[in-house]
Structure 1
């Protein structure tokens, strides 16, 4: 049973911000100045399973490091937008390339750069520690903080609703 007040049977695509959503919003800096992000293993499992099950998955982030790109490529994510200074442009590209309708898309964001896109999608989602402006426009606020399993939370609820969670290739990486 889902705690999300949206018809999850409509969802065909997931878009995630990275900093503050798929990683914590406090980031240690490497001595060379590059940010070092954490990732949640259960998020990774859910992301790769969603890809295998045919969902369209995208990452739209203002940041850029090779390690972030490599992580999501290894999980099978096809649409990775980095250095996204205006997320609307990358959202539009994703929608055009996939043919999805806004009501078929879940977007998880945590701060002002996500705001415009979140106003357009069917299911805007925020982590528990998101900015208040983002929480105000979200249809679902996860009990999880950024970097602590929000992707797993929403993907699992969606796939369980659609009957695709514990089937087929669910039992392997």
Structure 2
């Protein structure tokens, strides 16, 4: 593996951004009732960040080891490019999407928080993780969020990516 680029440089080249779901887009809690999973909490703030990425031409994909109709609904509501659920080999799934889009690894990023995400994080240019991730994950990451998972962590990452894209103008910055 080549050394990871600086996170700002990597963010500036992103054309495909992948996300794990539980522990990055949600707080990682699983809420079960008698009939199975009944609830996941997603942040509207994070959702807006994902929409901003997509509005700027960045493909957003979710790859998760679990399967949930709740996740499917949220991905559909946001217009996520591709959702892969029940995935045991995230690197294979991500690489297939990357290749289908004709992208190189230096144009790719992923936000993951645990071992099933490790191999993807090794390959992508922008490897994002959380402070709660295992030490080995943090060691290969070149960006670690500060906001809580499921409560602004994804938005923080989206804003970081967009802030480093050439020609991106932040409408909230003073002129």
- For the superposition of Structure 1 and Structure 2, which TM-score range results when normalised by the shorter chain? 0.7 to 0.9
Within the candidate set 145, 148, 155, 1:145 is matched to 148
For residues 105-154 of structure 1, the C-alpha deviation after alignment (integer angstroms, 9 at most, x for no partner) is 11100000000111000011102222222112111111123212221111
For the pair 1:25 / 2:41, whether they are aligned, the reply is no
For the pair 1:63 / 2:66, whether they are aligned, the reply is yes
Q: TM-score, normalised by structure 1?
A: 0.87
The verdict on how the C-alpha distance between 1:166 and 1:5 changes in structure 2, with shifts beyond 3 A counting, is: closer
User: Aligned-residue CA RMSD in angstroms?
Assistant: 1.8
Give structure 2 stretches of 5+ with no counterpart. 1-5
CA contact 1:129–1:145 (8 Å) conserved in 2: no
Corresponding position of 1:15: 18
Partner SS for 1:77: coil
Give structure 1 stretches of 5+ with no counterpart. none
Offset of residue 94 of structure 1? 1.0
Corresponding position of 2:8: 6
Offset of residue 74 of structure 1? 1.4
CA distance in 2, matches of 1:35, 1:126: 26
For residues 58-82 of structure 1, the C-alpha deviation after alignment (integer angstroms, 9 at most, x for no partner) is 1000111112111112111111111
Corresponding position of 1:164: 168
Worse-superposed segment, 62-71 or 154-163: 154-163
Q: TM-score, normalised by structure 2?
A: 0.86
Aligned pairs, number = 165
Within the candidate set 132, 136, 150, 1:129 is matched to 132
CA distance in 2, matches of 1:35, 1:105: 33
